[in-house]
Chains A and B, each alone.
Chain A
Amino acid sequence: DGGITQSPKYLFRKEGQNVTLSCEQNLNHDAMYWYRQDPGQGLRLIYYSQIVNDFQKGDIAEGYSVSREKKESFPLTVTSAQKNPTAFYLCASRGGAMTEAFFGQGTRLTVV
């Protein structure tokens, strides 16, 4: 079945460690997005990518990094520079500006 897969569903890390969240899609979509969701804050855009080997900072990119080496994959690294990394992270993809985004099931990251 076509869709977006985020893994793992739950992730625990110690403070100061970098952690990479996986996002894979088999929808042949060009654009991919990473959002962070905190209670009462809605979905805030971290990074997005329109094509392979190119990506743009979103509204809250500090402390995060991404890569887009393959069309299907858009991993997000939460670095130790991110001051409040504990959150629910959602990955999305879509085929074009006018189309709806498809979302993964999310990764809940807890940093202790």
Chain B
Amino acid sequence: AQKVTQAQTEISVVEKEDVTLDCVYETRDTTYYLFWYKQPPSGELVFLIRRNSFDEQNEISGRYSWNFQKSTSSFNFTITASQVVDSAVYFCALSEAVGSGGSNYKLTFGKGTLLTVNP
């Protein structure tokens, strides 16, 4: 079963539109961590945000905002007034303990959403 699902493979918008990237995760742990990363065309991964399972407070950072809902196992990412520089692949990731004793932490990524912002 896929642990992190990003159902939107590609999204194309026109500059200044708002866009929401969906992320649904699956875990049996009560303690886990969620992340969003951006991968621009250059290839390096840029960390955007971290959220732990006990903190459902939504967060806003400039044009970026995140909506974490444990009830639906979702951690969605919204870009307000998109810009051409936002064009990238965006990944959602889940960190959870695995194995006996829970001493190993697996970091699982979704397949990513390619966002294209057109001028």
- On A, residues with C-beta under 8 Å from B are 31, 33, 35, 40-45, 48, 50, 56, 58-59, 88, 90, 92, 94, 96-103, 105-106
Contacts and interface: CB of A to CB of B under 8 A. Distances in A.
Interface of B: 6, 9, 33, 35, 43-45, 47, 50, 52, 91, 93, 95, 97-99, 103-112
27 contacts: A41-B111, A42-B6, A42-B109, A42-B111, A42-B112, A43-B109, A43-B112, A45-B106, A45-B108, A45-B109, A50-B103, A56-B98, A56-B104, A59-B108, A92-B107, A96-B105, A97-B97, A97-B105, A98-B50, A100-B47, A100-B50, A101-B47, A101-B93, A101-B107, A105-B44, A106-B43, A106-B44
**Majority-rule SS of B interface residues:** strand
A40 B9 CA distance: 8
Nearest to A103: B45
Given A103-B45, A105-B44, A42 B97 contact: no
